[in-house]
Amino acid sequence: MKILPEISRTLSEYLLIPGLTTEDCTPDRVDLGAPLVRHRLGEEPGVRVATPLVSAIMQAVSSPTLAVALARAGGLSFIHQNQRIEDQAADVRAVKGHDHPASGTDDRASVDGEGRLRVGAGINSRDFKDRVPALVEAGADVLCLDSSDGYSVHQARTLEFARETYGEDVPVGAGNVVDGRAFRYLADAGAAFVKVGIGGGAICTTRAQKGIGRGQASALLDVVEARDAYAQETGVYVPLCCDGGLLNDSHMAMALAMGADFIMLGRYFARLDESPSRKLLIDGQWYKEYWGEGSLRAQNEARYGQRGRMVFEEGVDGYVPYAGGLDDNVERTRAKIASTMISCGSTNLRDFHRDAVLVPVSAESFKQTGAEVQLRLPALTSAE
């Protein structure tokens, strides 16, 4: 047994100190572009995104409709893998076959060499010998292993299979991890990117059920250090994806400041029109359903028992406040991240990684952030 000396910290426990904002720091000059896959330092990655947001590998999140909207907004979706191989491949085909009309923001769209929208797909380390070829055949641009704990020989074997079969042509991300050891293992095994985060998801009960996980800030800072050391040693940059528990836009800016290349979101996208779940009116307020992939509901909807009989749940089944359409939300999020970067004096993510100055906040200063104004009165009958 060994106890790490540092306490496990979340993203809310840090703030950014402003840097010098110069004339160059204007919203239209901020470039949020990020590499999605491994590449040699100084060379162009095979896949980039103009908006560093990807949607979670979840039934309640990544449908073809959401994937089309997100790719047009410059991000990327990962079609969920808790379904039959042929159904998932059909979802991928639906996105690739979408005829994508030109519009104002489309110069940002994530497109492949033939101008088709890009789409990713989740895979697992059990049926990969059948699922990977079917998804590649359907046109998936990027694949990603979908597991709450990616530090395993099973993931290494899956990566090896993809590399032996397709060489560098089919990038496969791996994860999730929360420390530098696990990052290096997956980077050595050929992961195209590594996903960071265990137990932080909005619908996640992994920490309570299994006791594994780490605060997202501590996990990210540890893995960022390992990624940078790996790049120095090998000349290969393996991008990091910060996954789970990003509750608001400032958390996204914080994750990017800490060195994440891009961000995976579940709850954020589940709230939107384009997500596949039902929209419900409850007590005058609109909600959308949102459930974890480890919840009983996800297992039931998968129906064919791909994962075998579930012995315990690792996720909850609930509702999130409805938040409108994807375009407006992504545009607002982009503007907020850009505004944070401008305050910190950065106009691109590489500079932001290098120049951001962060400070941990004490419990007392954390409390002070809460509004001291009562926002709702119990029963207002008249006002002057």
Residue 70 beta carbon to ligand IMP: minimum distance, rounded to whole angstroms:
14
In the complex, which residue's CB is closest to ligand IMP?
315
Residue 9 beta carbon to ligand IMP: minimum distance, rounded to whole angstroms:
17
In this complex, which beta carbon is closest to ligand IMP, that of residue 53 or of residue 69? 53
Residue 118 beta carbon to ligand IMP: minimum distance, rounded to whole angstroms:
19
354 phi and psi angles, rounded to 5 deg: -75, -40
In this complex, which beta carbon is closest to ligand IMP, that of residue 220 or of residue 265? 265
Compose the 185-224 pattern: x for residues touching ligand IMP by CB under 6 A, - for all others: ----------------xxxx-x------------------
The answer for 21, left when phi > 0, alpha when psi is -120 to 50, beta otherwise, is: beta
Site for ligand IMP contains 264 (CB under 6 A): yes
Site for ligand IMP contains 244 (CB under 6 A): yes
Upstream peptide bond of 176 is cis (omega within 30 degrees of 0) = yes
Residue 48 beta carbon to ligand IMP: minimum distance, rounded to whole angstroms:
21
- Give kind and range of the element (H or E) at residue 145: strand 142-145
In this complex, which beta carbon is closest to ligand IMP, that of residue 172 or of residue 246? 246
Compose the 50-89 pattern: x for residues touching ligand IMP by CB under 6 A, - for all others: ------x-x-------------------------------
Site for ligand IMP contains 141 (CB under 6 A): no
CA distances from 372 to 251, 353, 377 (A): 22, 33, 14
Site for ligand IMP contains 249 (CB under 6 A): no
Judged by CB under 6 A, the stretch of 6-14, 137-145, 241-249, 340-348 that binds ligand IMP is 241-249
Site for ligand IMP contains 267 (CB under 6 A): yes
Site for ligand IMP contains 255 (CB under 6 A): no
Residue 351 beta carbon to ligand IMP: minimum distance, rounded to whole angstroms:
26
CB of 203 within 8 A of CB of 290?
yes
Residue 334 beta carbon to ligand IMP: minimum distance, rounded to whole angstroms:
17
CB of 81 within 8 A of CB of 57?
yes
The residues near 266 (Cβ < 8 Å, ≥ 6 apart) are: 55, 56, 58, 60, 61, 201, 202, 203, 244, 290
The residues near 132 (Cβ < 8 Å, ≥ 6 apart) are: 123, 143, 158, 161, 162, 165, 170, 172
> In the annotation, is 242 catalytic?
no
Site for ligand IMP in 320-379 (CB under 6 A): none
SS3 annotation, 72-84:
HCCCEEEECCCCC
DSSP-based three-state secondary structure for 360: strand
In this complex, which beta carbon is closest to ligand IMP, that of residue 215 or of residue 294? 294
CA distances from 20 to 253, 258, 350, 352, 354 (A): 17, 18, 16, 12, 14
Site for ligand IMP in 289-308 (CB under 6 A): 292-295
DSSP-derived letter for residue 22 is: -
281 phi and psi angles, rounded to 5 deg: -100, 115
CB of 283 within 8 A of CB of 43?
no
Judged by CB under 6 A, the stretch of 265-273, 279-287, 346-354, 371-379 that binds ligand IMP is 265-273
DSSP-based three-state secondary structure for 186: helix
What's the alpha-carbon Rg for the chain, to the nearest Å?
A: 21
Judged by CB under 6 A, the stretch of 23-31, 63-71, 91-99, 259-267 that binds ligand IMP is 259-267
Site for ligand IMP contains 174 (CB under 6 A): no
Residue 298 beta carbon to ligand IMP: minimum distance, rounded to whole angstroms:
7
Catalytic residue among 126, 157, 181, 303: 303
Compose the 146-165 pattern: x for residues touching ligand IMP by CB under 6 A, - for all others: --x-----------------
- Extract the tokens encoding 295: 């919840």
Catalytic residue among 204, 241, 242, 344: 204
CB of 291 within 8 A of CB of 59?
yes
- Extract the tokens encoding 322: 């409805």
DSSP-derived letter for residue 61 is: T
Distance CA 84, CA 320 (A): 27
Question: Catalytic residues, which ones?
Answer: 204, 303
Binding site for ligand IMP (CB under 6 A): 56, 58, 148, 201-204, 206, 243-246, 264-268, 292-295, 314-315
